[in-house]
Amino acid sequence: MTEEQRRKLDRAQEIIDYRFQTESLLLSAITHPSATEGRSVKYSYERLEFLGDSILGAIVASTAFHRFHDLDEGGLTRIKVALVSGASLADVASGLGFADVIVFGSSETGTGKRGLHSALENVYEAVVAALYLDGGIDAAVAFVERTLIPRMSLDLALEPENPKSALQEKLQEDGITPTYKLVETQGPPHDRTFVAQVFAGSKGLARGKGRTKKEAESQAAKSTLASLGDFFGFGGDSAEKAAAKAASKAAKAEKAAEKAAARAEEKARKKSERDAARQTKQKKQG
C-alpha cells in the first residue's frame, strides 16, 4: 500500500465513521478505475458499485415505504428515483469530502478530474457495498441513514418521474417541442460524464450532467422545469425563471415567425403559378 493510499484510506474511515475489518474493501471502494490499469477489476470501485446500487435502492425504498404510509407506488418511486439519482449521490458524496479520498490514476492527472461528478456517485455506491460486505446490512443502513436519508421528504414525491416528458408537456402548451443536444463530453473513455442542453427552438435553456446521455438530458429537463417555476410548484430564483420564460416566449415567437414566413412563401408560390397559368392561357388564345 502506498503512502497516498494509506492516508486516503484513513481519512475515508473518518468520514464514514466506521473502522473496517477488511480495509481492502474500502480501498477498492475509493479507487478510480484509472488507478488499476492492467490489474483485476476487483481493485477498483466498479464491481462494488454494482452491488451498492442494489443495496442502496433497497434501503431507500424500505425507508420511504415505512415512513410515508399514504403514498402510492408512483409517489414512492419518485422519492426513490430522486434520492438515488447521480446528481443526488454526487452532491452528498461531495459534501462528505469524498473528493479528497478518491485514488486516481496517472491518466487522470492534469485533466482537472473532469470525471469527478460520476466518480463521486460511484464511490458512494461502492462504499455502501463495502460496508455491507464488511459489517452486514446494519453497517450499510447506518451510513445511508446518516448521509442520504435526511434528504428524504414528501416534496420529492411531487418531482416528475420523467422530467423530459413533463417538460415536453409544459412547452407544447405553447406549441414548442423541446430538443436536446450533447454539448460536452468530460473525462476519460472509461469514466465519461456527458453534458446536454435543452433547446426551445434555437434558444438554449438549462444544461444537465450525467453518466449517460439519457441521464444528462433528464437532468437538463429537470433544471429547466425548476427555472420555469413548474418544479415542486415553484423553483429557481426570479432571474432564472424570467430567463427561462423569456427563452420560451422567444422560441414561440420564432416558431410563429417561421409559420408566417412559410405561409407567405406558399402564398407567393401559388400566385406565381396562377400568373404563369394566366400567361400560358393568353398565349394560346393569341
* Pairing state between β 179-186 and 193-200: antiparallel
Rounded to whole angstroms, how far apart are CA atoms 40 and 54?
Answer: 22
Contacts of 250 (CB under 8 A, 6+ apart): 200, 201, 203
Q: What's the mean pLDDT in 179-199?
A: 86
Instruction: Please identify which of the residues 23, 46, 49, 53 carries the catalytic annotation.
Output: 53
Q: What's the mean pLDDT in 268-281?
A: 81
Going from the N-terminus, what domains does the chain have, and what CATH number goes with each?
Answer: 3-158 (1.10.1520.10), 163-251 (3.30.160.20)
Q: How many residues does the chain have?
A: 286
Task: Look at residue 243 and tell me whether its pLDDT is greater than 60.
Answer: no
> Known catalytic residue: 53?
yes
DSSP state of 105: -
Q: Read off the pLDDT band of 138 (50, 70, 90).
A: very high
Which range (17-21, 67-71, 219-223, 245-249) has the least confidence? Answer: 245-249
Percent of the chain at pLDDT above 70? 83
The better pLDDT of the pair 274, 127 is held by 127
Rounded to whole angstroms, how far apart are CA atoms 21 and 7?
Answer: 17
Instruction: Please identify which of the residues 23, 125, 191, 215 carries the catalytic annotation.
Output: 125
> Known catalytic residue: 138?
no
Q: What is the pTM of this model?
A: 0.62
Residue 9 and residue 22 in contact, taking contact as beta carbons nearer than 8 Å: no
